[in-house]
Amino acid sequence: MPKPLPAMDTSAPVGCAPLASGVMAADDALAVALRLKALADPIRVQLMSMLLAEPEDGVCTCDLAPAVELSEATVSHHLKQLREAGLVEGTRKGTNVYYRPQAEALGALCRVIDPSC
Amino acid sequence: MPKPLPAMDTSAPVGCAPLASGVMAADDALAVALRLKALADPIRVQLMSMLLAEPEDGVCTCDLAPAVELSEATVSHHLKQLREAGLVEGTRKGTNVYYRPQAEALGALCRVIDPSC
DNA sequence: TCCACCATTCGACGTACGTCAAGTGATTCC
DNA sequence: GGAATCACTTGACGTACGTCGAATGGTGGA
């Protein structure tokens, strides 16, 4: 039977030992995999690159949606994935919500998977 | 309609500009996402850490399967994903196939997603 | 207050994914 | 050649995922 992936809080930057420092426990592997999964979609990679281009002000959903040629509902869904993984943060200003990248979370993820970093 | 992800060759290390260096084109985003997806599973993260613990000799399927408590068929499937993403390489020695991690591919992926590396 | 706009959630759809049992290859040893 | 062992492929199953239209929430301006 297919194993339903357990849920866990991924809002803080991942904090386990690097992949290369020994055999990883199942729950650490889950923590890493959930964050990778949040980024493992071409649209979300593109969204992330757009946010990284405006790290100060952020970008709102209504500007992101036409840029990736998807409905706002779909973009909102993708942003939710990234938000729950702690990779972006959204703050409301008036009617708009501006999303900014969380470089620390991205860096922490990277330090776990890179054998030489 | 759901977008069927286009296929592409991911056997070589990813070679595009970092995420943070500007808005990423759709095909570059796909190249990154496909490699991330290959690693975005707790079992595959665990397998990768086991391989990184034996980078010289490699580990064979029959040793990996009991370690993650899955059938050899399933482990073989996961290893195929990692192999097609260029993250591991398998070489046959007798009846066994020994898998070794491809640190360069892992490092290249990391350099693309890390804003500070 | 009411309307317009942006964002999110909900319901539904087709596809992709993880898993296993069973079958097929490949290699070694007798 | 035959048997044993390891690896991979195939077919099937349930679940999770990406997408959209429509409905719901918030916010600000007439």
The tens digit of pLDDT for each residue in A7-58 reads 899 999 998 878 988 899 999 999 999 999 999 999 999 999 999 999 999 9
Q: Which residues touch strand D (CB under 7 A)?
A: A 1-2, 4-5, 37, 40-41, 43, 70-71, 73-74, 77-78, 81, 92, 94-95; B 1-3, 60-62, 65, 72-73, 76-77, 79-80, 90, 95-97
pLDDT score of B61: 98
Contact at CB, B36 and A32, closer than 8 angstroms: no
List all residues 6 or more positions away from A50 whose beta carbon is below 8 Å from its beta carbon.
A59, A64, A67, B23
pTM higher than 0.85? yes
pLDDT-based confidence at residue B105 (cuts at 50, 70, 90)? very high
| Mean pLDDT within B104-110 | 96
The tens digit of pLDDT for each residue in B1-36 reads 556 788 899 999 998 888 988 999 999 999 999 999
Contact at CB, A37 and B40, closer than 8 angstroms: yes
Q: What is the DSSP string of B45-105?
A: HHHHHHHHTSTTT-EEHHHHHHHHT--HHHHHHHHHHHHHTTSEEEEEETTEEEEEE-HHH
